[in-house]
Amino acid sequence: MPVCDLDKRVPHGKKVLGIDVVVWWDRNENAWKVFDDACPHRLAPLSEGRIDQWGRLQCVYHGWCFNGSGDCKFIPQAPTDGPPIHTNKKACVAAYPTTMQNGIVWFWPNSDPQYKDVLAEKKPPYIPELDDPSYSGPMGNREIPYGYEVLIENLMDPAHVPYAHYGIMQTRQPKEKADREGGRPLDLSVEKLDINGFIAKQEWGRSKFLPPCVFYASPLAPLDQGNGAASSAETKKVSSAQRRILLIFICIPVSPGNSRLIWTFPRNFGIWIDKIVPRWMFHIGQNLILDSDLYLLHVELQCRIQRSESARSCIAVCCFCFSGNCCRNQAGCHISGCKNYARCSSYTIICSFKMVGLLYLQTVSLS
């Protein structure tokens, strides 16, 4: 979740990878915490609770209180002269390893103590421009009623833009238009492809996929040029050759058929605009774009589920497998041995852009 959309005064209920979690601000440790959204007493959602006057997370049902490690610190019904039953392990709530990076709260979706320090080694994907003060761009997020696999594929699919977003997004027009919208063959190529993702070149710039959830593009300059070093754009004018804008999309698998999108378009020019234009005004434009293909994609997914088409779900499961801990092979998919892989390939090869995804899957399966 983007921190800009989290209120420190209250707990927030979220779902990620099918896990219901509560996100809350622990003022004693000055850190965001992510717990199971179920009280160990009677499983009431902790996200309906409150932060008490000592900064603990309090369950709203019977008032049990928890510290930032998930330890139960107070059971109001327990006699003060009785045994300290709140110290019983069964009174603890599962806490996930959590970190804040690029203005986003990330957590490791396994609360087993063996992963307690996992985020010291395995960091979320880092985008330097998001911490660079010479860049500016509001962030937004939205719950989406179609799955992660449809969402990420849609973001990588430029062919739909002149049609699904007609009149909302501008696209380069062909010399001779065959229709009102100006759809045309698109020139796409893969410049780099390995276990860490891919960089693709398009006419207008480059796009980069950092599996499993970050996709971003830069229309104005190569993606690998920026090193994130802060320059003082506040005081220095950026020449047109130095102008950069990134289109950053972070796709979160919520549950089958549901996802969450975080977007931000940081740029190193015209940053004064963000100081006078409120964030909600940017959200209007972005949500208009999301709205214009939302119904198509929702119905597309429902249709595929009804027809038991497994091609996309194969991609999805494979993508989930990238992170090694997401689907936990519950769908029985192992990338190199996936029975649906051939179907997946034949489906994916239809579109040259989706070839990028196919090549990536193959690379991952070989490595």
Positions touching ligand FES (CB under 6 A) are: 39, 41-42, 44, 59, 61-64
Q: How far is the CB of 306 from Fe ion (least distance, A)?
A: 23
Q: How far is the CB of 91 from ligand FES (least distance, A)?
A: 10
Question: How many angstroms separate the CA atoms of 263 and 115, rounded?
Answer: 29
- Closer to ligand FES at the Cβ: 42 or 279? 42
Residue 36 binding target from Fe ion, ligand FES, none, CB below 5 to 8 Å by type: none
Stretch that binds Fe ion, among 21-29, 121-129, 224-232, 287-295 (CB under 5 A): 287-295
Burial 135-157, CB ≥16 within 10 A → b, else e: bbbbbbbeebebbbbbbbbbbbe
Q: At what angle do helices 311-322 and 341-348 cross, to 10 degrees?
A: 110
| CB of 6 closer than 8 Å to CB of 34 | no
| Tokens representing residue 251 in the block | 């796709």
In this structure, the dihedral spanned by the alpha carbons of residues 14, 16, 18 and 20, taken in order and rounded to 10 degrees, is -30
| CB of 91 closer than 8 Å to CB of 72 | yes
Residue 144 binding target from ligand FES, Fe ion, none, CB below 5 to 8 Å by type: none
- Closer to ligand FES at the Cβ: 66 or 269? 66
153 binds Fe ion (CB under 5 A): no
Residue 293 binding target from Fe ion, ligand FES, none, CB below 5 to 8 Å by type: Fe ion
Residue 62 binding target from Fe ion, ligand FES, none, CB below 5 to 8 Å by type: ligand FES
Q: How far is the CB of 75 from ligand FES (least distance, A)?
A: 8
**Footprint (CB under 5 A) of Fe ion, residues 203-222:** none
293 binds Fe ion (CB under 5 A): yes
- Closer to ligand FES at the Cβ: 61 or 115? 61
Residue 64 binding target from Fe ion, ligand FES, none, CB below 5 to 8 Å by type: ligand FES
Q: Which residue in the block uniquely carries the two structure tokens 């307690």?
A: 116
Question: How many angstroms separate the CA atoms of 211 and 251, rounded?
Answer: 10
- Closer to ligand FES at the Cβ: 41 or 116? 41
Q: How far is the CB of 40 from ligand FES (least distance, A)?
A: 8
Question: How many angstroms separate the CA atoms of 363 and 97, rounded?
Answer: 30
Residue 328 binding target from Fe ion, ligand FES, none, CB below 5 to 8 Å by type: none
Question: How many angstroms separate the CA atoms of 11 and 25, rounded?
Answer: 7
Give Cβ neighbours of residue 150 (< 8 Å, ≥ 6 apart).
259, 297, 300, 301, 312
Question: For residue 83, how many C-alpha atoms fall within 13 Å in the half-sphere facing its CB?
Answer: 3
| CB of 32 closer than 8 Å to CB of 3 | yes
Q: How far is the CB of 171 from Fe ion (least distance, A)?
A: 12
26 binds Fe ion (CB under 5 A): no
Stretch that binds Fe ion, among 144-152, 290-298, 317-325, 352-360 (CB under 5 A): 290-298
Burial 330-354, CB ≥16 within 10 A → b, else e: ebebebeebebbeebeebbeebebb
Q: How far is the CB of 116 from ligand FES (least distance, A)?
A: 24
Q: How far is the CB of 62 from ligand FES (least distance, A)?
A: 3
Question: How many angstroms separate the CA atoms of 286 and 265, rounded?
Answer: 11
Question: How many angstroms separate the CA atoms of 322 and 319, rounded?
Answer: 5
- Closer to ligand FES at the Cβ: 87 or 325? 87
Q: Which residues of the shown chain bind Fe ion in the complex (CB under 5 A)?
A: 293
